[in-house]
Amino acid sequence: MSGPIRIVVADDHPVVRDGFAELLATQPDLDVAGTAGDGTEAVRVCREVKPDVVLMDIRMPGVDGIEATRRLVGQNVVPGLKVIILTTFNLDEYVYDALRAGASGFLLKDVTAEHLFDAVRVVAAGEALLAPAVTRRLIDEFARLRDRPDPAASRALASLTPRETQVLRLMAEGLSNPEVAARLTVTEETVKTHVSRVLAKLGLRDRTQAVVAAYETGLVVPRSR
Protein backbone atom coordinates (compact mmCIF):
# COMPACT_ATOMS: atom_id res chain seq x y z
CA MET A 1 0.00 0.00 0.00
CA SER A 2 1.40 3.36 -1.02
CA GLY A 3 0.86 6.30 1.29
CA PRO A 4 -0.60 6.25 4.79
CA ILE A 5 -3.48 3.98 5.76
CA ARG A 6 -6.69 6.00 5.74
CA ILE A 7 -9.01 5.34 8.68
CA VAL A 8 -12.52 6.30 9.76
CA VAL A 9 -13.45 5.98 13.44
CA ALA A 10 -17.18 5.43 14.16
CA ASP A 11 -18.38 5.54 17.77
CA ASP A 12 -21.29 7.37 19.38
CA HIS A 13 -19.25 8.32 22.46
CA PRO A 14 -17.15 11.43 21.67
CA VAL A 15 -14.50 10.59 24.28
CA VAL A 16 -13.95 7.12 22.82
CA ARG A 17 -14.10 8.35 19.23
CA ASP A 18 -11.70 11.23 19.81
CA GLY A 19 -9.41 9.07 21.91
CA PHE A 20 -8.95 6.50 19.16
CA ALA A 21 -8.54 9.22 16.54
CA GLU A 22 -5.86 10.99 18.57
CA LEU A 23 -3.97 7.75 19.19
CA LEU A 24 -4.01 6.78 15.53
CA ALA A 25 -2.88 10.25 14.48
CA THR A 26 0.39 9.78 16.38
CA GLN A 27 1.57 7.26 13.79
CA PRO A 28 3.16 8.58 10.58
CA ASP A 29 1.74 5.73 8.48
CA LEU A 30 -1.84 6.15 9.76
CA ASP A 31 -4.18 8.94 8.67
CA VAL A 32 -7.57 9.56 10.34
CA ALA A 33 -9.59 10.61 7.32
CA GLY A 34 -12.87 11.11 9.21
CA THR A 35 -15.02 10.25 12.23
CA ALA A 36 -18.69 9.39 12.70
CA GLY A 37 -21.15 9.27 15.58
CA ASP A 38 -23.53 6.63 14.20
CA GLY A 39 -23.87 4.07 11.43
CA THR A 40 -25.59 6.34 8.95
CA GLU A 41 -22.87 8.93 9.30
CA ALA A 42 -20.20 6.22 9.04
CA VAL A 43 -21.54 5.10 5.65
CA ARG A 44 -21.77 8.69 4.43
CA VAL A 45 -18.25 9.58 5.59
CA CYS A 46 -16.82 6.42 4.00
CA ARG A 47 -18.45 7.31 0.69
CA GLU A 48 -16.81 10.72 0.88
CA VAL A 49 -13.29 9.98 2.12
CA LYS A 50 -12.85 6.37 0.89
CA PRO A 51 -10.82 4.97 3.80
CA ASP A 52 -8.90 1.71 3.88
CA VAL A 53 -10.09 0.70 7.36
CA VAL A 54 -13.08 1.57 9.55
CA LEU A 55 -13.06 1.16 13.33
CA MET A 56 -16.76 0.52 13.93
CA ASP A 57 -18.54 0.50 17.28
CA ILE A 58 -21.32 -2.09 17.42
CA ARG A 59 -23.85 -0.30 19.59
CA MET A 60 -24.77 3.06 18.12
CA PRO A 61 -28.14 4.83 17.93
CA GLY A 62 -30.20 4.51 14.75
CA VAL A 63 -28.15 2.47 12.31
CA ASP A 64 -25.85 0.34 14.42
CA GLY A 65 -22.41 -0.98 13.55
CA ILE A 66 -23.70 -4.28 12.21
CA GLU A 67 -26.06 -2.69 9.70
CA ALA A 68 -23.44 -0.09 8.76
CA THR A 69 -20.95 -2.89 8.13
CA ARG A 70 -23.52 -4.75 6.04
CA ARG A 71 -24.15 -1.65 3.92
CA LEU A 72 -20.48 -0.83 3.48
CA VAL A 73 -19.34 -4.35 2.63
CA GLY A 74 -22.47 -5.66 0.93
CA GLN A 75 -22.79 -2.66 -1.35
CA ASN A 76 -19.02 -2.46 -1.85
CA VAL A 77 -19.18 1.27 -1.05
CA VAL A 78 -15.39 1.46 -1.00
CA PRO A 79 -13.62 -1.40 -2.83
CA GLY A 80 -11.23 -3.21 -0.52
CA LEU A 81 -12.56 -1.51 2.63
CA LYS A 82 -11.93 -3.43 5.85
CA VAL A 83 -14.07 -3.11 8.98
CA ILE A 84 -12.77 -3.71 12.50
CA ILE A 85 -15.50 -3.98 15.11
CA LEU A 86 -15.03 -2.28 18.49
CA THR A 87 -16.61 -4.05 21.45
CA THR A 88 -16.40 -4.15 25.22
CA PHE A 89 -16.11 -7.91 25.69
CA ASN A 90 -14.89 -10.93 23.74
CA LEU A 91 -17.81 -13.34 23.45
CA ASP A 92 -20.30 -10.79 22.21
CA GLU A 93 -23.15 -12.16 20.09
CA TYR A 94 -23.19 -8.91 18.16
CA VAL A 95 -19.56 -9.46 17.14
CA TYR A 96 -20.60 -12.73 15.52
CA ASP A 97 -23.37 -10.92 13.65
CA ALA A 98 -20.86 -8.29 12.53
CA LEU A 99 -18.47 -10.96 11.24
CA ARG A 100 -21.34 -12.47 9.28
CA ALA A 101 -22.09 -9.00 7.91
CA GLY A 102 -18.54 -8.70 6.56
CA ALA A 103 -16.30 -7.37 9.32
CA SER A 104 -12.70 -8.61 9.21
CA GLY A 105 -12.29 -8.91 12.96
CA PHE A 106 -12.79 -7.16 16.26
CA LEU A 107 -10.91 -5.32 18.99
CA LEU A 108 -11.78 -4.70 22.60
CA LYS A 109 -12.16 -1.04 23.46
CA ASP A 110 -9.49 -1.32 26.14
CA VAL A 111 -6.93 -2.42 23.54
CA THR A 112 -3.38 -1.13 24.02
CA ALA A 113 -2.14 1.54 21.65
CA GLU A 114 0.43 -0.75 20.05
CA HIS A 115 -2.11 -3.52 19.51
CA LEU A 116 -4.48 -0.99 17.93
CA PHE A 117 -1.79 0.23 15.52
CA ASP A 118 -0.76 -3.31 14.62
CA ALA A 119 -4.38 -4.39 14.07
CA VAL A 120 -5.06 -1.57 11.62
CA ARG A 121 -1.86 -2.32 9.70
CA VAL A 122 -2.55 -6.06 9.57
CA VAL A 123 -6.12 -5.64 8.33
CA ALA A 124 -5.14 -2.99 5.78
CA ALA A 125 -2.59 -5.45 4.39
CA GLY A 126 -5.34 -8.02 3.89
CA GLU A 127 -4.18 -10.39 6.60
CA ALA A 128 -6.26 -12.03 9.33
CA LEU A 129 -6.64 -9.73 12.30
CA LEU A 130 -7.40 -12.41 14.85
CA ALA A 131 -5.52 -15.55 15.61
CA PRO A 132 -7.55 -18.16 13.68
CA ALA A 133 -8.30 -20.07 16.88
CA VAL A 134 -9.81 -16.96 18.49
CA THR A 135 -12.06 -16.39 15.48
CA ARG A 136 -13.08 -20.04 15.49
CA ARG A 137 -13.93 -20.04 19.20
CA LEU A 138 -16.13 -16.98 18.81
CA ILE A 139 -17.97 -18.34 15.78
CA ASP A 140 -18.22 -21.81 17.30
CA GLU A 141 -19.86 -20.33 20.39
CA PHE A 142 -22.67 -18.61 18.51
CA ALA A 143 -23.05 -20.77 15.41
CA ARG A 144 -24.41 -23.51 17.71
CA LEU A 145 -27.36 -21.24 18.48
CA ARG A 146 -28.14 -20.20 14.93
CA ASP A 147 -29.98 -21.50 11.90
CA ARG A 148 -29.35 -24.73 10.08
CA PRO A 149 -26.83 -24.63 7.22
CA ASP A 150 -27.92 -22.66 4.17
CA PRO A 151 -28.43 -25.14 1.27
CA ALA A 152 -27.56 -22.51 -1.36
CA ALA A 153 -24.36 -21.58 0.43
CA SER A 154 -23.54 -25.26 0.86
CA ARG A 155 -23.85 -25.80 -2.89
CA ALA A 156 -21.21 -23.11 -3.43
CA LEU A 157 -18.70 -25.47 -1.84
CA ALA A 158 -19.09 -27.74 -4.88
CA SER A 159 -16.80 -25.38 -6.78
CA LEU A 160 -13.90 -26.26 -4.48
CA THR A 161 -11.49 -29.09 -5.15
CA PRO A 162 -11.14 -31.76 -2.45
CA ARG A 163 -7.86 -30.21 -1.32
CA GLU A 164 -9.35 -26.71 -1.21
CA THR A 165 -12.24 -28.04 0.86
CA GLN A 166 -9.74 -29.67 3.19
CA VAL A 167 -7.84 -26.40 3.57
CA LEU A 168 -11.05 -24.49 4.30
CA ARG A 169 -12.03 -27.01 6.96
CA LEU A 170 -8.63 -26.75 8.65
CA MET A 171 -8.78 -22.94 8.55
CA ALA A 172 -12.18 -23.05 10.22
CA GLU A 173 -10.85 -25.39 12.87
CA GLY A 174 -8.42 -22.66 13.87
CA LEU A 175 -5.19 -23.69 12.14
CA SER A 176 -2.83 -21.04 10.81
CA ASN A 177 -1.22 -21.36 7.40
CA PRO A 178 1.98 -22.91 8.81
CA GLU A 179 -0.11 -25.39 10.80
CA VAL A 180 -2.19 -26.29 7.75
CA ALA A 181 1.03 -26.77 5.77
CA ALA A 182 2.40 -29.09 8.44
CA ARG A 183 -0.84 -31.07 8.64
CA LEU A 184 -0.99 -31.57 4.86
CA THR A 185 2.78 -31.94 4.39
CA VAL A 186 2.96 -29.15 1.83
CA THR A 187 4.71 -25.79 1.73
CA GLU A 188 3.21 -22.69 3.32
CA GLU A 189 3.23 -21.06 -0.13
CA THR A 190 1.04 -23.88 -1.43
CA VAL A 191 -1.41 -23.31 1.42
CA LYS A 192 -1.52 -19.59 0.63
CA THR A 193 -2.38 -20.44 -2.96
CA HIS A 194 -5.20 -22.74 -1.85
CA VAL A 195 -6.54 -20.09 0.54
CA SER A 196 -6.54 -17.48 -2.24
CA ARG A 197 -8.44 -19.84 -4.53
CA VAL A 198 -10.99 -20.65 -1.83
CA LEU A 199 -11.64 -16.95 -1.25
CA ALA A 200 -11.94 -16.26 -4.98
CA LYS A 201 -14.27 -19.19 -5.71
CA LEU A 202 -16.58 -18.44 -2.78
CA GLY A 203 -16.50 -14.68 -3.34
CA LEU A 204 -15.11 -13.99 0.13
CA ARG A 205 -13.12 -10.97 1.23
CA ASP A 206 -10.71 -12.49 3.73
CA ARG A 207 -9.85 -15.40 5.98
CA THR A 208 -12.32 -14.38 8.67
CA GLN A 209 -15.15 -14.61 6.15
CA ALA A 210 -13.92 -18.06 5.12
CA VAL A 211 -14.23 -19.28 8.71
CA VAL A 212 -17.77 -17.88 8.92
CA ALA A 213 -18.66 -19.53 5.60
CA ALA A 214 -17.41 -22.91 6.79
CA TYR A 215 -19.90 -22.79 9.65
CA GLU A 216 -22.72 -21.24 7.63
CA THR A 217 -22.50 -24.02 5.04
CA GLY A 218 -22.25 -26.82 7.59
CA LEU A 219 -18.75 -27.81 6.46
CA VAL A 220 -17.69 -27.45 10.07
CA VAL A 221 -20.20 -28.29 12.79
CA PRO A 222 -20.10 -26.35 16.08
CA ARG A 223 -18.93 -28.45 18.92
CA SER A 224 -21.47 -29.40 21.57
CA ARG A 225 -20.76 -28.46 25.16
Q: Could you read off the pLDDT of 15-65 as tens digits, one per residue? A: 999 999 999 999 999 999 999 999 999 999 999 999 999 999 998 988 999
Most confident among 22-31, 137-146, 164-173 (mean pLDDT) = 22-31
- pLDDT of 108 reads 85
- pLDDT of 142 reads 66
Distance, in Å, from the CA atom of 11 to the CA atom of 57, rounded to the nearest integer, reads 5
Across 33-37, 58-62, 190-194, 215-219, least confident range: 215-219
CA-to-CA dists, residue 136 to 65, 93, 111, 139, 188, angstroms = 21, 14, 20, 5, 21
Which H or E element spans position 106?
A: strand 105-108
- pLDDT of 203 reads 84
Domains of the chain plus CATH, in order, are: 5-129 (3.40.50.2300), 142-216 (1.10.10.10)
Q: Three-state SS for 145? A: coil
What backbone torsions phi and psi does residue 31 show, to the nearest 5 degrees?
A: -130, 115
- pLDDT of 88 reads 82
Distance, in Å, from the CA atom of 39 to the CA atom of 110, rounded to the nearest integer, reads 21
- pLDDT of 149 reads 59
Among the listed residues 31, 30, 32, 39, the one whose alpha carbon sits nearest the alpha carbon of residue 10: 39
- pLDDT of 133 reads 57
Of 90 and 112, the one with more pLDDT = 112
| Average pLDDT of span 210-218 | 82
Q: First and final CA of the chain: distance in angstroms?
A: 43
| Average pLDDT of span 151-170 | 85
Question: What rounded mean pLDDT belongs to the chain?
Answer: 85
Contact residues for 47 (Cβ-Cβ < 8 A; gap 6+)? 77, 78
| Average pLDDT of span 56-80 | 89
225 has pLDDT over 50: no
- pLDDT of 183 reads 94
